[in-house]
Amino acid sequence: MNLNATILGQAIAFVLFVLFCMKYVWPPLM
């Protein structure tokens, strides 16, 4: 298993999670 691929995958997943939170979680709280 390539370590860089794992880190890249986690980074992409984290970015998608942040975008999801900004789009669906933040507006009701603001």
pLDDT above 90 (res 29): no
| Local confidence band at 1 (pLDDT 50, 70, 90 cut-offs) | low
**Residue type, position 29, single letter:** L
Supply 14's token pair: 């984290």
Please return the burial class of 2, using the count of CB atoms within 10 Å of its CB with bins 0-12, 13-18 and 19+: exposed
The tens digit of pLDDT for each residue in 3-18 reads: 899 999 999 999 999 9
**Cα separation, 8 vs 10, whole angstroms:** 5
One-letter amino acid for residue 27 of the chain:
P
Which backbone phi and psi does 2 adopt, to 5 degrees?
Answer: -80, 125
